[in-house]
Amino acid sequence: MNTATAETLSVVLLIAVLGCAVLRPRRLPEAAVAVPAAALVVATGALPLEHARAEAERLGPVLGFLAAILVLAKLCDDEGLFQACGAWTARVSAGRPGRLLGATFLLASGITAVLSLDATVVLLTPVVFATVARLGARPAPYVYACAHLSNTASLLLPVSNLTNLLAFEAAGLSFTRFAALMALPWVVAVAAEYLVLRRFFAADLAAGFTPYEETERPAVPVFALATVAGTLAGFAVTSALGLEPVWAALAGALVLGVRALVRRTTTPLSLARAASLPFLAFVLGLGVVVRAVVDNGLSDALGRLVPASDGLPALLVLAVVAALLANAINNLPAVLVLVPLAAPAGAGAVLAVLLGVNIGPNLTYAGSLATLLWRRIVREHRYEVRLGEFTRFGLLAVPATLVPAVVALWLSLSVIGT
């Protein structure tokens, strides 16, 4: 197959894969198109088999981690962790919308950072709906907080987002150094999101709600909290030992999983469903198709846009390019494309790409898979997200969050170094 044909086929297949993920015709799983598309680029020679195998080997530990963390989050939900968190936000609000919004931000940011953005979207969003319904509050500010923070608050740790995991190795940083460099951008980005959201939804917050009347306080699942804390510590230990973070996540999932199986509060089938195997197949298929697009010309085209330094102007350019590309082709393909191009400029350039692909997707529905999943969940709760409102909020929030976050990253790099 000649280069032009291979490039055209790869791009068409990527559009088809992303289109299926966004639209989900007939409720088909995302993998229904991604897996055949990956097989097709290999079968036609658009991507050599050895390149496809290398991509699968690179994504293997990432997919293993994602499966383990999804199981861990589901088991924490079964233990009552998210219900207890919802009761806490209602209790500390004391009938004041600002306090409820602040508690929701703290909760969503912490869950996203430690248990990944999927836990915030899939498990926390329904709890937020239940909490605001019980209080009689308008849901928009709190539900939008879950959507935006599932992306923005995933900056802190290598394990907070699939995009972070894909870039972690290329950055050449330890777990703790990554967290140290991203701590200030994370705080700045979350604070910026809070200020913009509070102003944008001022009318909804001014409407108020009924103070929370606690009839029975949910028990705090101490064992689940201890397991999560141990897993988080395990991420730092495995990084220091040169091991993949998947082993720490697997250990945490095994501890809670074995306990749940012994107590008969779950089943092997439930654990398998929690691992979301079709979604993992989608990520693998998407990775192979993106590799074909990159190998057949996209890398060369974008290479001319990627600065070869890590000064503040270069970091801003990288973050903006990453944000725009994430909204054009989704943030997962964007990080697969841009990280190899940014890596030669150093860890700072890779982290700037992460700022773009994690904050930028808040601009459009298609920017990240988390946002697409969030939209499906809010519809299940009979809440219709208006496209105009979502876009207007994104147009305000993304620039106001991305620019100060990049400046904060530049300061962190200047003080801490890589």
pLDDT in tens, 130-174: 888 888 889 999 999 999 999 999 999 998 988 998 888 889 898
Domain assignment of residue 379, yes or no: no
What mean pLDDT is reported for the chain?
89
Answer yes or no: is 373 within a domain.
no
Global pTM reads: 0.83
**Could you tell me the pLDDT band of residue 112, with boundaries at 50, 70 and 90?**
very high
The per-residue pLDDT for range 37-79, each reduced to its tens digit, is 999 999 999 999 999 999 898 888 888 888 898 899 889 989 9
What mean pLDDT comes out for the span 275-289? Answer: 88
The alpha helices in 244-303, defined as continuous H runs, are 246-262, 268-274, 277-293, 299-303
Please check whether residue 63 lies inside any domain of the structure. Answer: no
Contact 338, 322 (CB under 8 A): yes
Range of the domain at 2: 1-46+282-295
Query: Is 4 within the bounds of a domain?
Result: yes
Q: What pLDDT sits at residue 19? A: 82
In a domain, 7, yes or no: yes
Q: Into how many domains does the chain fold?
A: 1
pLDDT digit string, tens, across residues 189-237: 999 999 999 999 999 998 878 877 766 677 889 999 899 999 989 988 8
* Rounded CA separation 306/310 (Å): 11
Q: How far apart are CA 93 and CA 200, in angstroms?
A: 20
**Does 14 reside within a domain?**
yes
Neighbour count for residue 9 (Cβ, 10 Å): 22
- Rounded CA separation 37/103 (Å): 43
